[in-house]
Amino acid sequence: MKKKKHKKIKDVKNMAAMVPINVPFVVKKSKCKSFSEKKASQNDIKFILDQANKFEKQRKKSQ
Amino acid sequence: MTYKYGTEVNYVEEIIDISKKDYLKEFDCKNDEINNHIKKFQSHISTERLWGIFDCNLDKLVCVYSLKASAITRESSDNRGAAYDSAVEIAIFAVDKNYQDLRMSDKKEDGCLSSRILCSVMKKIMVMNSNICAVEYIILYSTKDAEEFYKKCKFKSFTQYMKNRDSYIQYCVPMYFPICLLQQEE
């Protein structure tokens, strides 16, 4: 039983490097409320769009 | 030829099909597991779509990424079953070692090429959410080493919310980003 558990972890370690691992994201019951309340801030969205737009501008320049 | 800044790179973005397989052989993101996964990729039989950012000056592959449909499950407190929030998972995001940490300028706030590419992928998903199909979250599994990089791109750790997955997430960090509708001009 112990050996089996070890193997499972090792397999996950091998896959964990952003290779699809198919472990679902499940929110604990006790955390559902606080999770639902988390929203992206406008500053975060602005940062992402700003970076992305600069990158797209560079791509257009490349063409 | 080496670059001083990421702004010097001329690039195109294309799906990696069978004609571009040779680019994958030379690709090295310094992580053996990701390298192996990418090198084994066979576009003609896989259901996975790999996108590539190609350096037109040096004819090299800069970045590989893939997306897949997913969800975040919220358990119901009143036993009425679970609720699902739609998500897009960044299943792979890997930058070649020669382009990692390549800054865009001397200014810290300009960031690096890798973060700009990731932000452009995130924007793609946000545009899809606004125009085609509702998506509430972007999710991914990060390596421990890359956690700070994703945090700089505004991802948050999902670990505190994750139910009974300790053994699975021992070597990686589940992360998420809640998205919203974009204004038309964006």
Please state the three-class secondary structure of B12-33 as a single string.
EEEECCHHHHHHHHHCCCCCHH
pLDDT category of residue B178 using cuts at 50, 70 and 90: very high
The CATH number for B22's domain is 3.40.630.30
- B110 within some domain: yes
Res A6: pLDDT:
47
Query: Tokens 């069978």 — which residue?
Result: B18
Helices then strands (H, E): number in chain A? 3, 1
| Distance separating alpha carbons of residues B120 and B126, to the nearest angstrom | 10
Q: Is B99:B62 a contact under the CB 8 Å cutoff?
A: yes
- B146 within some domain: yes
Model pLDDT for residues B13-44, shown as the tens digit of each residue? 999 988 888 899 999 998 888 898 888 887 66
- B184 within some domain: no
Of B37, B120, B174, the CB nearest to A55: B120
Residue of higher predicted confidence among B117 and A30: B117
Counted domains in chain B? 1
Q: Do A52 and B116 touch (CB under 8 A)?
A: yes
Contact residues, chain B, for A44 at CB < 8 Å: 154, 177
Q: Do B161 and A31 touch (CB under 8 A)?
A: yes
- B1 within some domain: no
Chain A: give the shortest CA distance to residue B159, in Å. Answer: 9
For chain A, the distance separating the N- and C-terminal CA atoms, rounded to the nearest angstrom, is: 58
Of A13, A56, A62, the CB nearest to B120: A56
Q: Is A51:B111 a contact under the CB 8 Å cutoff?
A: yes
Chain B: give the shortest CA distance to residue A47, in Å. Answer: 8
DSSP B70-127: EEEEEE-TTSS-EEEEEEEEEEEEEE-TTTTT-BSSSSGGG-BHHHHHHHHHHHHHHH
Res A13: pLDDT:
42
- B186 within some domain: no
As beta bridge partners, residue B71 has B86
The residue of A48, A61, A63 whose CB has the most chain B CBs within 10 angstroms, and thus the best one to mutate to test that interface, is A48
- B43 within some domain: yes
What's the rounded mean pLDDT across residues B161-174? 74
Cα A56 to Cα A38, A51, A63, B93, B145, distances in angstroms: 29, 9, 11, 18, 27
B67: pLDDT strictly greater than 60: yes
- B105 within some domain: yes
* Residues 6+ positions from B170 with CB-CB distance below 8 Å: A9, A12, A13
Tokens of B85: 């929030």
Q: Which of B116, B114, B16 is nearest to B66 (CA)?
A: B16
Residue of higher predicted confidence among A25 and B139: B139
In terms of residue numbers, what domain contains B100?
6-178
Model pLDDT for residues B120-148, shown as the tens digit of each residue? 999 999 999 988 888 999 999 888 889 99
- B185 within some domain: no
| Distance separating alpha carbons of residues B154 and B151, to the nearest angstrom | 5
Number of residues that this document lists for chain A = 63
Q: Is A40:B173 a contact under the CB 8 Å cutoff?
A: no
B110: pLDDT strictly greater than 80: yes
Res B38: pLDDT:
87
